[in-house]
Structure 1
């Protein structure tokens, strides 16, 4: 990294909440003094370390109107004046990038806003990143004289379970937002959390003698549970030295984060009043809908079934009115079998003890717990699967970070499900990733090794063998008869690789005398030893083209290709052996 950078700035664009932080350059062995932006809501008296990931974009589809708490407030104002229909309001849009490695993303992909309108994904992401970056730079200008954007090293956090395609789209969004590629680092969220907590004296909350991550000996293993609004991200780290950790098994996770609980609450409302009427309420009574979901979000985090018998939410009068004016109710009136809203909420699959009194809806602790059931079950199942990969080896603790880790019920479930493993939950768990990303920017090599999720290679040609190769892959070139679509493997799934170091180098020769360039298809597979790039579970996920130095016979020009897994991205390097000309590029996984 360039020594000219004096500020290390992190942006955590989360599914539910986002924020920024920065620190001045320090000695890599010293914990920097990290400044985290405090955010204030018009509806709450206290400040928070992150702001809601809410984006309000003007009717032109390009210009940002507001972000975070300000976007919520401004959107409410527009709703009250009936001016919101032409604006675009996005929440929880980050999950749009979660997918499988073979599901292509493209620069033209769109996202759907809260009212069903669409915009290009890169516009929404880049607008959000630009706002957070500009907001931080405004603070820097107030604090430091003569600060320049060129003085900043940017770190953008991404989930470990994201595909390479999704990580690349996030990088492109940051560049579109004005960040220079050579000043930009992508950091995996569980790794950022691990880095930060390794430098703190964190003790387990369920043991009198807990485990301090900073004092773990070399070889000690611990599981990082990054529970956010959108994703549950699980990684097992092993202490490699006093300052470095390494990933030892493939990361895993799912999309059963805190928003899954919200979706269950919304499913309850749809069961009670019908999907159509819920959408009508959401569309026509947007202000009441926002207040209802905001109230649920607060109660969700603080809910403690060991201390609370009931949970009370404000029940909007407009929701009752929407239900009682439905066509279904008109039919009930005619048949004198009218069903009131109080009866409707009792007839859902979420319990019979739910009551409505005037402007309040009251849940028993048992019924409220049902909203968490699917999320908690999937999270515990995912933790067990991750621990099983160690084949009985000891884990010294579970480190819980992310906004959903602040949820009391999730904490209790993890502790009770794994009673013999200490559980560490840092104060302000929601900002741990953000702070860790700043530390990572100051000292990126702190993650010494990672486990590769897929088998990677390039599509190449070998001599054709009649008895061994399919006839449809036979190709006649200036070199002779070859077999095309050979999966030339560079890295095997599950292989432990040193970060930033080129892996196995392979040599390739052009196939034609007058060839001007060599185009490599970059391939990924779940198989450990794929034979052809057309095999099942093998997919071309990108391409890279190397221009050749002009010569009489291009077939004599050897190209050496290697893959390096530095940061969160794959970097492919191609060297023209005779001239020493080197081309290094981030592999583009976007179509």
Structure 2
């Protein structure tokens, strides 16, 4: 269970509670976005002046010169034996391969595909550790921060060529995150960005599918202006559409409606799962181990680590271009090819030819089917919900959306009833959309909550919206925000009066979440997660205080104000979901 604390800020005498939530507006010269992906990462920017004249004039910055697939580079970090930054992306891959040839790799730190740990980890905190390729551990916050800092510096170098005298504080940064990530994971990224030199005042988190939707919306408008009227239909006023963001790690799905203002509102809470393109890599490697032999592969990895890394890179590259009706050919080392004796169980689906191993089209269909069938079944279930009956279009984005297997499956399953949209360069859509979101500010006005949020209190009595609290051992869950509730970004979500009886000058009100459809009354560790404390100072010599809790939602986090009804003393905080 996450042990977290809501920071207490000095008392504010203002009577207008809503004003305490407002942040001063900053002016920026440019907006830059970092799409920090599980497999690949990228960056882009546009100046404020360019955005005024052309919303789609977005500069994409290549992070290396080796990736022929896109401007993105592999999300790989290499640190030297002292734990200091050495390289990122394809440069990190190449140098580590060189180290592996000379047996120096064991003392270095090589991290790849580590973003998924923020989805799978049960307890995300500031001190969580990551394991690198060789099994050595490093502080996760530092690993993420070093990657973000490298990309940030690349963007700033390019921006300074375009804008004379540009200061770091002149740039608004947008960092993409999956919509299905937990509150803890989102705040982890905020902290990592701060460690990388991006202040919270200059940072905006963008949910990946929402960024994709916004870019496609403006792309459609641009096409209409050039005579293509059909392009706008999916994004007209009141149109409802689904965005399926198919990344390397997760499949991220949101369903939105276009408002008269052009803004979007979420009409069903974000969903998805770990069915991304990396699953296919894992299944291909598993098949190779079954064919070649687990022990042979283990020895190959230990003794020929350079060749093993080349095999992994080959799997990623070949998988991306795999066709539904074609076999997949993988280059293997000469020594490994000599050790292979294909078992009878795989002779119909695998063949060896010189220094290549070939997986049949039928086998590749089987490998892809588990991931593809799971996601299409999930989408089918979402489209049967009463909230999504108005959906007319399905937009597929992300690197995995370029897969022939994915596109074929979605067309066969949904094309008769829905318009299926596959944008060109689907792996760049989220990144460019994030830039647009950074310029627009409140582009997404309504979201739907994924959990029930409430207070964990030892309650003596409840009268209306006043809860009387006493010291006890059993905690009762009092719901503040319901699962599936529509919440407006920036607005007050709810308020409660809590009567607290305490024997000290300090009181702590615990905040919990549960994803049960109907939350149970008593709090336990199995069904509830503690996500924060609201810590307040009570008046001296007073046995009971009535606190007015006011809660608002500001895009990626909840802000809480606790006001003592008697003294007017206010405590402003943000529920910090990360443990100390």
Give the C-alpha shift of residue 82 in structure 1.
Answer: 1.7
* Maintained 8 Å contact 2:330/2:356: yes
* Maintained 8 Å contact 1:8/1:23: yes
Runs (5+) with no aligned partner, structure 2: 1-23, 463-467
1:426 maps to which residue?
423
Give the C-alpha shift of residue 117 in structure 1.
Answer: 2.3
Give the C-alpha shift of residue 41 in structure 1.
Answer: 4.2
2:57 maps to which residue?
33
1:282/1:456 CA distance change after superposition, 3 Å: same
Q: TM-score, normalised by structure 1?
A: 0.86
Q: Which one of the candidate residues 433, 447, 451 is aligned to 2:448?
A: 451
Q: Which one of the candidate residues 205, 208, 220 is aligned to 1:201?
A: 220
1:251/1:487 CA distance change after superposition, 3 Å: same
Q: CA–CA distance in 2 between the matches of 1:582 and 1:424? A: 50
Q: CA–CA distance in 2 between the matches of 1:296 and 1:36? A: 27
Give the C-alpha shift of residue 185 in structure 1.
Answer: 1.4
Matched, 1:11 2:34: yes
Matched, 1:60 2:82: yes
* Maintained 8 Å contact 2:382/2:388: no
Give the C-alpha shift of residue 141 in structure 1.
Answer: 2.1
The residue correspondences of 1:316-465 to structure 2 (distance < 5 A) are 316-320=333-337, 324=339, 341-344=340-343, 347-348=345-346, 352-390=348-386, 393-420=389-416, 421-463=418-460
1:283/1:566 CA distance change after superposition, 3 Å: farther
Q: Which one of the candidate residues 260, 272, 276 is aligned to 2:279?
A: 260
Matched, 1:584 2:572: yes
1:524 maps to which residue?
513
Runs (5+) with no aligned partner, structure 1: 325-340, 466-473
Give the C-alpha shift of residue 422 in structure 1.
Answer: 1.5
The residue correspondences of 1:114-129 to structure 2 (distance < 5 A) are 114-129=133-148
The residue correspondences of 1:62-77 to structure 2 (distance < 5 A) are 63-77=84-98
* Maintained 8 Å contact 2:469/2:498: no
Query: Aligned-pair RMSD on alpha carbons?
Result: 2.7
Q: CA–CA distance in 2 between the matches of 1:268 and 1:50? A: 28
What SS does the aligned partner of 1:278 have? helix
| 1:252-277 deviation line (CA, Å, top 9, x unaligned) | 11111000000001101111233333
| 1:428-481 deviation line (CA, Å, top 9, x unaligned) | 11111111111111123111101100010122343259xxxxxxxx9866xxxx
Aligned length: 544
Q: CA–CA distance in 1 between the matches of 2:221 and 2:116? A: 30
Q: CA–CA distance in 1 between the matches of 2:110 and 2:536? A: 43
The residue correspondences of 1:89-104 to structure 2 (distance < 5 A) are 89-99=110-120, 103-104=122-123
Q: CA–CA distance in 2 between the matches of 1:312 and 1:203? A: 41
1:366/1:210 CA distance change after superposition, 3 Å: farther
Relative contact order (alpha carbons < 8 A, sep ≥ 6): 1 or 2 greater? 2
Q: CA–CA distance in 1 between the matches of 2:312 and 2:245? A: 23
Q: TM-score, normalised by structure 2?
A: 0.87
| 1:520-555 deviation line (CA, Å, top 9, x unaligned) | 21110123444233385222122231334x444262
2:105 maps to which residue?
84
Give the C-alpha shift of residue 577 in structure 1.
Answer: 4.2
Give the C-alpha shift of residue 197 in structure 1.
Answer: 1.1
1:72/1:508 CA distance change after superposition, 3 Å: same
Q: CA–CA distance in 2 between the matches of 1:67 and 1:580? A: 52
* Maintained 8 Å contact 2:492/2:552: yes
